Amino acid sequence: MAGVLPDMSEPVPHDPLAPDAIGERGAARARVRPKRRVPWLALASALVLLMVVGWGLMPRLFTSADPLLGQPLQALQAPSGAHWFGTDQLGRDLFARTIYGASTSLRATGLAVLVALLGGAPTGLLAGYFGGRFDAVVMRAVDVLMAIPSLLLAMAIVTVLGFGTIEIAVAVGLSAIASFARLTRGETLRWRGADFVDAAVVSGVGDLGVIVRHIVPHAAGPVLALAALEFGSAVLSVSSLSFLGFGAPPPQPEWGLLIAEGRNYLALAWWYTTLPGLVVLLVVLSANQLARFAQDSGAHR
C-alpha cells in the first residue's frame, strides 16, 4: 500500500526542540544583552569618601564651630541640633573636631599609600622583570616583612623615626611596601612572558621601552586597585597609632586622638568615642567597597 505524500503547499510545523530552533533562540538571547545593575553600594561609598575629602579640603563649608575653642559650661553635652556629635570634656564641638581632624588623618593616609606605592611597585617591577639574584634577595626580604604584622611593624618604625603625623604616615607606608612589591612582581611575571613582549624584545626594543610601553600599562590596574584597598587599611593604621599616642599632640584634632580622649568618659559620654569611631569605620568600609568594585570591574573586562 503506497504511502500518502504530505502536501508541500501547506507549511510544515516548526519543532521548537529542533537543533536549528535551539540555535536560533540562543543567538537571540546572545543579541539581547542583560541590563547592568547599578552599583548602588559603590556609589554610596564614593559619596561617603567625597564628603570626607570635602571635610579635609574645605572644613568651613561643613561647620562654623571652632574645633579648638571650648565652652566649659557646655562640657559633655549629648548630641543635639546645636552639637551634632555632642561636646567633649572642655565643651568643644566634637562634630567640628571630627571634620577638622579629617584633614590631618587623610593627609597622613595619602602619604602612607604614596610611600608604599612608590617604594613597593618599582621594586617588584624590577625584581619580576630582571629576575636572578636580585629577584631572590628582594622576595626573601618581602617574605620577612610580610611575616610581621603590619601594625606591629609600623609601631617599630615610628619608634625609630619619632612621634608625629608625618612619622606615622611614613611608618605605615614602609610597613605596606612588601604587599605592593609582591603584587607588582606577580603582574610583571605574568606579562613578561606574553607574546607581544617577546615580539618587542626581538624587534630591538630595549628593557626600558618594554617596561614603560608594555609591562607598566598592563600591571597598573591591579596595583592601583591594591592602592585603593590599602587606603582603607592605612586609615585604620594611622588612627590606631594616633590612638596609642604616636600621632599629633593635643589639642590638634585627629581621628585616633579623639577616640583616645573619649575612652576615659565612656560611662558618662558614649558619643565621645562612638561617633568619631563610626566615621573611621565608615571611611574604611567605603574605601574597601570601592576597591572591590574596581577589582571586579577589571576582572570582567
Nearest Cα neighbor of 256 from 156, 184, 154 is 154
Would you state the cell numbers that stand for residue 148, as one nine-digit string? 610581621
Contacts of 266 (CB under 8 A, 6+ apart): 272, 273
pLDDT digits (tens, 9 = 90+) for 35-51: 556 688 889 999 999 99
Nearest Cα neighbor of 163 from 281, 61, 69, 257 is 257
pLDDT digits (tens, 9 = 90+) for 54-74: 999 999 999 999 999 888 888
Q: Based on C-alpha coordinates, what's the Rg of the chain?
A: 29
Give the rounded percent of residues in the chain with a pLDDT score beyond 70.
86
How high does pLDDT run on average in the chain?
85
Q: Look at the domain 104-299 and name its fold.
A: MetI-like fold (1.10.3720)
The whole-number pLDDT of residue 30 equals 46
pLDDT (mean) for 93-107: 93
H-assigned helices in 193-269: 195-202, 207-210, 216-243, 255-262
pLDDT digits (tens, 9 = 90+) for 139-195: 999 999 999 888 899 999 998 988 888 999 999 999 999 999 999 999 999 888 888
Strand, helix or coil at 137? helix
Q: Helix, strand, coil proportions of the chain in percent (round to 5)? A: 70, 0, 30
pLDDT digits (tens, 9 = 90+) for 249-285: 888 889 999 999 988 888 889 999 999 999 999 999 9
How far is 272 from 92, CA to CA, in rounded Å? 11
Give the rounded percent of residues in the chain with a pLDDT score beyond 90.
47
The number of helix segments (H) and strand segments (E) in the chain equals 12, 0
pTM here is 0.81
